[in-house]
Structure 1
Amino acid sequence: MKKLTKIALASSVLAMTLSINISAQAQEKRLLTLDDQFAFRQISDPQLSPTGDWIAYTVTNTDLKNDTRDNHIYMTSWDGSQTLQLTNGNDSEYNPRFSPDGKYLAFRSSRESGKQQIWLLNLAGGEAEKISDFAGDVTDFVWSGDSRQLAVIAEEPVPEIPFNGKTPPPIVIDQFHFLEDGVGFIGKSREHLYVLDLATRKADILTPGSFNEYLPAWSTDNKNIAFVSKRGQESDRNNNWDLYAIAAQSGAKARQLTTFIGPDS
């Protein structure tokens, strides 16, 4: 509870500091414009370091000239005396996460490959390194307590049908839940749970199949991973999400933990 309180406080302090800095630049009264609105930077996803000395977070900027938005990672000391910009590439970065031993900061970015992958930054210095190479986008990841592995949710894309440039391939609908606002046609791609070893960079899939897995969480002994999934016949016709757990090793079988009707998380 204390950690959650500190994270909430950190988010408030960062937002207030940014507002004060922007206000200090306005030396005279004038009417607000749309440029002023877009000049505000949005701070999100604050993460407290294991020692409690630093806060990592993302800052979103709007570039009106190029009609783009970028998202980069910063780190501020708890006493507010130092602020460091950790990333500044052409591609945005998301979800900064300290390793439990405090040596690394992992994040998601589409650098190089065009797909969201996991990058690792050694906090002792040096450039960030891409440590995952999934076929689809990484949507979530969580450090194990011993800082040796990552539980990863990554998309398993469906092979594309060749397009001759004249007639696009047909969209085949054979499931009840086939369309989402802001996403479009869902198709057959699925998001699965993997375990990524930090030393070897090898990723093993834990949950192959036709279902999606979300919200991974490690057990305290780093041997099992809990996750949320919606399974059973015609699972896309209901909202019955259940909790599952699986050993963090290839070939393990998932076991269902809850049977309540409705969404569990």
Structure 2
Amino acid sequence: MSLINMKGRFLVLLLLSVLACSPNEQIKEEIVYLKKANGNFDLYQSDVLGQWEERLTQNVGYDWQPHWNEGLQKLVYYSNDSTENFTVLAMDIRSKKTDALPLAHLADYRLSPNAEYIYYTTSDGDSKNIWRCDLGGNNRYQLTNTNGYNGRFSLSPHGQKMAFVSDRTGSNQLFVMNLGNGEVEQVSFFPLIAKYSTWSPDSKRLAVCLAEASDDPKWDIWLYDLSTQGLERFTNTPYSEQEIAWSLSGEKIAFHGTTENDGDQIYTLDIADGKFTKITSGDFYHGEPTWVPIR
């Protein structure tokens, strides 16, 4: 066999081996969440089975709203010091070093997946709308422009769509906007009301917290397929699943659940079989889970 043929055969085998490995097998991930202990909110990290826990922040103020940003390859979160000075920080998970991000005064601050834009909200009287600008605060663009509430937005991993909650139809419902042309599609309808949403890693599905409209709604997770526009109920429990986050591998959804016996804890839910796993424990408040890659 010639050297050229040997090289060609090697490249084919290498390509086949790469294709044989699914993206899920290549992703190792852990969970980050906030925990209130000793009267303070800090961020903690856990493995996917809840076997260990590591404290990430030691701030004397509050740290909350953690989200992994793929563009920065860092954990982005809100932070207040003891004098309530507000900042948005980006943490390197390995070194725990942080950098302050610009324009932290913007409300509901969220970086785009590629870290090129800041999405935020502005309020005018009883109305709230969603805007976007670059990291320098320039090229400001209004994405929603209706009276009433527009917020609780989540950005698709490929950066082309945004899910958000709006009361433009008379109750809080979930909508999806195409960020390229501004077209808006309504996902949920009354008598259901919507609260939180999270995207699958391939941007093809949404998970959303929906409940029957009432004074004490019990939130369940529903799955929405963007290609078929099908909305199916995924959980049906006597308590609420909230603050949901789809895993980077696509295999699980983490959420904040509250029960009478266990209080506020973090759980995960397997997409394939619906199996619940309790991640946190103890008489502490836990909330706002997100996922970070381990490399």
TM-score range, shorter chain: 0.5 to 0.7
> CA offset at residue 56 of structure 1?
1.0
The separation in 2 between residues aligned to 1:10 and 1:201, in whole angstroms, is 37
TM-score by length of 1: 0.65
1:134–1:154 Cα contact (<8 Å) kept: no
Q: 2:175 aligns with which of 113, 119, 122?
A: 119
2:266–2:278 Cα contact (<8 Å) kept: yes
Q: Tell me the residue number matched to 1:225.
A: 253
Q: 1:10 aligns with which of 86, 102, 106?
A: 102
Give the structure, 1 or 2, with the largest relative contact order (CA under 8 Å, sep 6 or more).
2
2:129–2:144 Cα contact (<8 Å) kept: yes
> CA offset at residue 57 of structure 1?
0.6
Q: Tell me the residue number matched to 1:256.
A: 278
Identity, in percent, stands at 28
Give ranges in structure 2 of 5+ residues lacking alignment.
1-73, 78-88, 91-98, 288-295
**2:174 is the alignment partner of 1:146:** no
Partner SS for 2:148: coil
The separation in 2 between residues aligned to 1:224 and 1:120, in whole angstroms, is 22
Q: Tell me the residue number matched to 2:149.
A: 92
**2:107 is the alignment partner of 1:44:** yes
Q: Tell me the residue number matched to 2:187.
A: 131
1:218–1:226 Cα contact (<8 Å) kept: yes
Q: Tell me the residue number matched to 2:134.
A: 77
> CA offset at residue 154 of structure 1?
1.4
> CA offset at residue 243 of structure 1?
2.5
Give ranges in structure 1 of 5+ residues lacking alignment.
16-42, 63-68, 159-184
The separation in 2 between residues aligned to 1:77 and 1:48, in whole angstroms, is 10
- Which runs of structure 2 are paired with 1:100-249 in the superposition (5 Å)? 100-112=157-169, 114-133=170-189, 135-157=191-213, 186=216, 189-231=217-259, 235=260, 240-248=263-271
Which structure features the higher share of helix residues?
1
2:143–2:182 Cα contact (<8 Å) kept: no
The separation in 2 between residues aligned to 1:2 and 1:139, in whole angstroms, is 23
> CA offset at residue 239 of structure 1?
6.2
> CA offset at residue 77 of structure 1?
1.6
User: Alignment length, in residue pairs?
Assistant: 195
Which runs of 4 or more aligned residues in structure 1 lie more than 4 Å from their structure 2 counterparts after TM superposition? none
What's the CA shift string for 1:84-113, capped at 9, x where partnerless?
11111123211232211011122110122x
> CA offset at residue 134 of structure 1?
5.7
